[in-house]
Amino acid sequence: MSGPLTLPAEIPAAAVKDAARACGFALVGLARASRLDDGPLRTWLAAGHAADMAWMGERIDERLDPRVVLPGARTVIALGIPYFRAGDQKAPVARYARGRDYHYAHRDRMKKLRHGLLGLAPGVATYACVDTGVAMEKVWAERAGLGFIGKNGCLINRQHGSWLTLSVMFMDRTVEAYDRPHENLCGDCVACLRGCPTNAFPSPGVVDARRCLSYQTIENHGFVPLPLRPKLRGHVFGCDVCQEVCPFNHDRLPSADPRFAPRPLGQMAAAEIAGLSRDDYDRLAPGTAMARARYDGLRRNAALALGAARDATARPLLQALASDGSDIVSEAATWALGRLRTSDP
C-alpha cells in the first residue's frame, strides 16, 4: 500500500527570479498555474479572427491549462526580453525581426534557466515555451505582473513599453510568493486603434488577423487581399504602427542585448529585398525571424510595398519580377506596375 502523496518542495520566489535574470531575462514574474478562462480565445476563433492559422484552434485544453501540458504544474514563470534599440535606421521590417530570431535567444536562456532551477530544486519538472508552442505567453505575463495587455493586443511594460519578446516556463513546484496581475493602464487612450492603417481592431485588445499587416506579410503565403495592398507602403515584414503611436513606447529604455542588433537583411530597403537573389536570401535569412516569410513571400511583400509607395524608380525591377517563376511574386509585381500607371487610391 502506497504512502501519502508528498507535495513538491517550495522554492523561494527571489531565487527563481535571480536565476532567470542571471540567464539574461530582463523581466521575470511568477503566477499560480491554473486554467485560464476559455471565453476570449473561443470567441476570437469563432469570429474568424485567426484567418487560416488553424493551429490556434487545436489543443485548446493545453493552451488554457498548464497542468495538461505538465502534469503537476504549480507555477508559471513569465519571462521577457526587451528589443528596442535607439538610433536604429528606418527600415520596412518590424523592429523585433531585424536581428537574430528571438526564439533562439529565449530557448538558449531557458535551457540555462532549467539547469538553474535544477540546482535550486533537484528533480524539478519543467516545460518551456516560446510562441511557437501552446502557452498563452501574453496572458501569463499579465498575470505574473510583467505588464498589461493593451488595446493593441500587445503586452505593455511600464519601463520597456511593448517592445518585448516573451516566453514562459511551467514548473511543478510552488513558490512562497506570487506576483499580482498588472492593472490595465490604457485608460481612454485609443491611439493604437486610430493609428492602425487597416483597421485591424474590431474592438480594443482584439486583433483580426485577416486585416493585420503583420499576418499578411508573415503568415499569409498566398495572395494579399487587394483592399489591403495600398497600406503596405513602408511594410515588408511585420508592422509596428500600433506600437509606435503608443504613449508607453515613447522614451523607452533601449536594449543593449547584442542578439537584437540589426543584421543586413533587417536593414534593407524594399527595393533591395524585392531584388534579392536566391543565393543572397539563403545567405542572409537563416537565423532571422524574416525567414518565416520565405523567399517568395519576402519578394512578394517588397513588390507590393513598392507599388503601394508608387515608387517609379522601381519600374525596371518590377518589370523583371512580373515574369518571375513564382505566381505570388509575378502577380504582386504586375499589381505594383499598375499602381505606377494610375493615381487611384
| Catalytic residue chosen out of the listed positions 18, 131, 279, 327 | 131
Helices and strands (DSSP H and E) totals, the chain:
14, 6
Place of cell 485577416: 210
Place of cell 522554492: 11
Retrieve residue 265's grid coordinates. Answer: 537583411
Backbone angles phi, psi at 167, to 5 degrees: -150, 170
Integer Cα distance of 47 and 205 in angstroms: 14
The number of residues making up the chain comes to 345
Retrieve residue 3's grid coordinates. Answer: 504512502
Integer Cα distance of 232 and 224 in angstroms: 10
User: Nearest-CA neighbor of 156 among 76, 77, 80, 208?
Assistant: 80
User: Quick check: helix, strand or coil at residue 39?
Assistant: helix
Integer Cα distance of 129 and 106 in angstroms: 9
**Could you please report the per-residue DSSP string of 51-101?**
TT-GGGGSSHHHHH-HHHHSTT--EEEEEEEE---TTPPP-SB-GGGSSB-
In order of 78, 117, 122, 127, 131, the CA distances from 111 in angstroms are: 15, 10, 15, 10, 16
131 belongs to the catalytic site: yes
User: Nearest-CA neighbor of 116 among 210, 179, 250, 24?
Assistant: 24
Integer Cα distance of 99 and 103 in angstroms: 11
Residue 199: how many CA atoms within 13 Å on its side-chain side? 2
Please count the other Cβ atoms lying within 10 Å of the Cβ belonging to residue 68: 15
Report, as residue numbers or ranges, the catalytic residues. Answer: 131
